[in-house]
Chains A and B, each alone.
Chain A
Amino acid sequence: MTFEDKIAVMRAVESLMHEGRISEIATLVHPDFVVHEDPGMPYGGVYRGPDGFVQLVSNVVAAWQDLRTECLSFLDEPGGDGILLIIRNSGKAPGSGKPVEVLTSEYWRIVDGTLREGRVWYYDSPAAAAALTEGLA
Chain B
Amino acid sequence: MSQPFDPLAVASAVQQNFATMTEAELGDLIADDCVVHEAPSLPFGGDWVGPSGFAALMRAIMGTFLEFSVEPGSIFSDGKDMLAFQCTLHGRTAKGSFTMPLVEYWRFGDGKVKEIHAMWHDSKQVCDLL
Contacts and interface: CB of A to CB of B under 8 A. Distances in A.
Nearest to B105: A86
B121 to A, nearest CB: 6
B78 interface: yes
Interface stretch (A15-23, A26-34, A47-55, A117-125): A117-125
B57 interface: no
A76 B41 contact: no
Interface size of B as a range:
20 to 34
Given A75-B82, A124-B40, A36 B76 contact: no
Contacts, number: 81
26 contacts: A3-B79, A38-B122, A39-B122, A40-B122, A73-B82, A76-B76, A76-B78, A77-B75, A78-B75, A84-B86, A103-B117, A103-B119, A107-B86, A119-B121, A121-B120, A121-B121, A122-B119, A123-B37, A123-B39, A123-B119, A124-B123, A126-B39, A126-B41, A126-B124, A126-B127, A127-B41
A126 B39 CA distance: 9
A125 B127 CA distance: 11
B12 interface: no
B20 interface: no
In the complex, the 8 A-B pairs of residues with the closest C-beta atoms, listed nearest first: A40-B124, A124-B39, A121-B119, A75-B76, A126-B41, A84-B76, A75-B78, A75-B84
B72 interface: no
A39 B124 contact: yes
Interface of B: 37, 39-41, 45, 74-79, 82-84, 86, 101-103, 105, 117, 119-125, 127
Contact of A105 (B78, B83, B103): B103
Contacts of B117: 103, 123
B8 to A, nearest CB: 10
A45 B2 CA distance: 49
Interface residues of A, number: 28
B125 A39 contact: yes
Nearest to A130: B41
Most buried by A among B39, B82, B83, B127: B39
Given A40-B122, A80-B74, A121-B120, 13 more contacts: A73-B82, A75-B83, A77-B74, A83-B76, A84-B84, A84-B86, A103-B119, A107-B103, A119-B121, A121-B101, A124-B45, A125-B41, A125-B123
Contacts of A86: 84, 105
A103 B127 CA distance: 19
Contacts of B120: 121
